Structure 1
Amino acid sequence: MDPTRWDELTTLHARVEHDLERALKRAHNLGLSEYRALCHLSTAHGGELRMQDLATRIGLNQSSVSRLAARLEADGLTRRDLCPADRRGVYSVITDTGRQALATAAPTYAQALEDSLRTQPVGATLAPLVSALLA
C-alpha cells in the first residue's frame, strides 16, 4: 500500500467538499452537513432518525450533530421528537419545509459536484475513479 495514493484521495475529497459547501451556502444558505442531514432524513423511514444514527451517517460526533439539529430546527427544516419507547431517545424529523429545501438544493449539489470533479487536478492514480464517478 502506498500512502501517497491515500493522501491524493483525501486531498481530492477535501477540495470537492469545499466546493460543495461553498455552492450550497451561496445558493441556498445551507451547509454541507445540513444538506446531508436532510438527505439522510428524507430517505429514512418516516423521515426520522435517532440523533445518534444521524451522527453516524453524517460522520459527526454527538455534540456536533446536536448543534446541527438545532440549526435545522431554527430554520424550520426539521423538528425534534421523543422516542415513544425510550423517552431519553431523541429523533430528528424532516419537515415539509426541509423536504422543499432539499429538493431546491439538490440540483445545485449535483452540478457543483460534477463541476468540481471535472476541474480538480488529478493524477493517473485517481483519474479512473474520477472518470467512473462522472460516468
Structure 2
Amino acid sequence: MWSRLIALHAQVEGRLAAAVQRGHGLGLSEYRALGFLAEAPDGELRMQDLSARLGLNQSSVTRLVGRLDAAGLAYRDLCPDDRRGVYAVITDKGRERHRSAGDTYRDTLTLALDESDDDTVAALRRAHVRLL
C-alpha cells in the first residue's frame, strides 16, 4: 500500500505542478508557500517556520522567497525585536495570485484523484473513514 501511495503522490504532484505553473506562473512550492503565508497571522512567517512547513531546507526557502519577492508576491522583513529574525510576508498581489491559482489546484487535484486507475484512492478513502 505504501509504495502505491508514493506512486500516486508522484503522479498527482506532477499534474498539480504542471497546472499551477502553466495557468499561474507559480511553482508548486511557491504556491504552497503563498498559502502558508496567507493563512498566517498578519500574513507573515519566520523563514525557518516556512521552511519547516514546506519541508525544504533554509537555503531553498531563501531562494524561493527571493523569487516571490522578485515577482512582487512576497517580501522579506526583519524582526523589529531580533534583527537576526527574518520573516517572509505575503503581499496583496501574492494573496490574489494564490487565490486565483487555488481553483486550478483544487480542480486538478480532484480530477487526478478521480482518474486514478488503481484502487489506492478507494483504499485511502476507506482508511480515512475508519479513522473518523
Q: Tell whether the structures are fold-level matches, with TM greater than 0.5.
A: yes
| 1:54 counterpart residue number | 50
Amino acid aligned to 1:11: A
**What SS is found at the alignment partner of 1:11?**
helix
Total equivalences in the alignment: 128
Counterparts of 1:88 and 1:21, CA distance in 2 = 33
The CA deviation string for residues 32-91 of structure 1, in whole angstroms up to 9 with x for no partner, is 100000000001010000000001001111111111000000000001100112101100
CA deviation after TM superposition for structure 1 residue 119, in Å: 1.3
User: 1:59-98 alignment to 2 at 5 Å?
Assistant: 59-98=55-94
Structure 1 unaligned residues grouped into runs of 5+: none
Give the root-mean-square deviation of aligned CA atoms: 1.6
Give the TM-score taking structure 1 as reference length.
0.89
1:113 equivalent to 2:109? Answer: yes
**1:18–1:130: structure 2 CA closer, same or farther, 3 Å change rule?**
farther
CA contact (8 A) 2:65 2:74 kept: yes
Spell out structure 1 runs of 4+ moving beyond 4 A.
Answer: none
- Percent identity over the alignment is 55
Structure 2 unaligned residues grouped into runs of 5+: none
Amino acid aligned to 1:79: Y
1:40 equivalent to 2:36? Answer: yes
Give the TM-score taking structure 2 as reference length.
0.91
CA deviation after TM superposition for structure 1 residue 126, in Å: 4.1
Amino acid aligned to 2:57: N
